[in-house]
Structure 1
Amino acid sequence: MPQMAPLLWLNLFIFFSLSLILFFIFNYFLPPYFKTKPFFKHLKFKKLNWKW
């Protein structure tokens, strides 16, 4: 099985390090995704007062 050259290992390390850093940066600076309106807030429940 052939061995990888040291420069190839360095390229892989740089590539994955930059992708990890970009992933953290995008997660930090992009606003979180919120749905427009939750479904349960549209439902109005009537409170029934039972008089037995």
Structure 2
Amino acid sequence: MPQMAPLYWLYLFIFFLLTLLLFFMVNYFIKPFDNISSVSHDTKIIYKSWKL
């Protein structure tokens, strides 16, 4: 039915927004891998030659 097409696009748009929101929430709570490797950086002491 042609009169139902706007509702179809509205539901598709809402589904897209909810999926995008879920994607950003998952990416916010999952930390990147460089935080895991930063532990090894903390154990090493790097002295800069230009600092006094």
TM-score (norm 2): 0.51
Deviation at 1:31, TM superposition (A): 1.9
Whole-Å Cα distance in 2 between the matches of residues 13 and 32 of structure 1?
A: 29
Report the RMSD for the aligned CA atoms in angstroms: 2.4
Note if 1:33 corresponds to 2:33. Answer: yes
- Counterpart secondary structure, 2:31: coil
Aligned to 1:24: 24
Identity of aligned residues (%): 62
Distance 1:12 1:33 in 2: 34
- Aligned pairs, number: 34
* Mapping of residues 1-52 of structure 1, within 5 Å: 5-34=5-34
Q: 1:47 aligns to what?
A: none
What TM-score, normalized to structure 1? Answer: 0.51
**Higher Rg:** 1
List structure 1 runs of 4+ shifted beyond 3 angstroms: none
Q: Distance in 1 between matches of 2:33 and 2:22?
A: 18
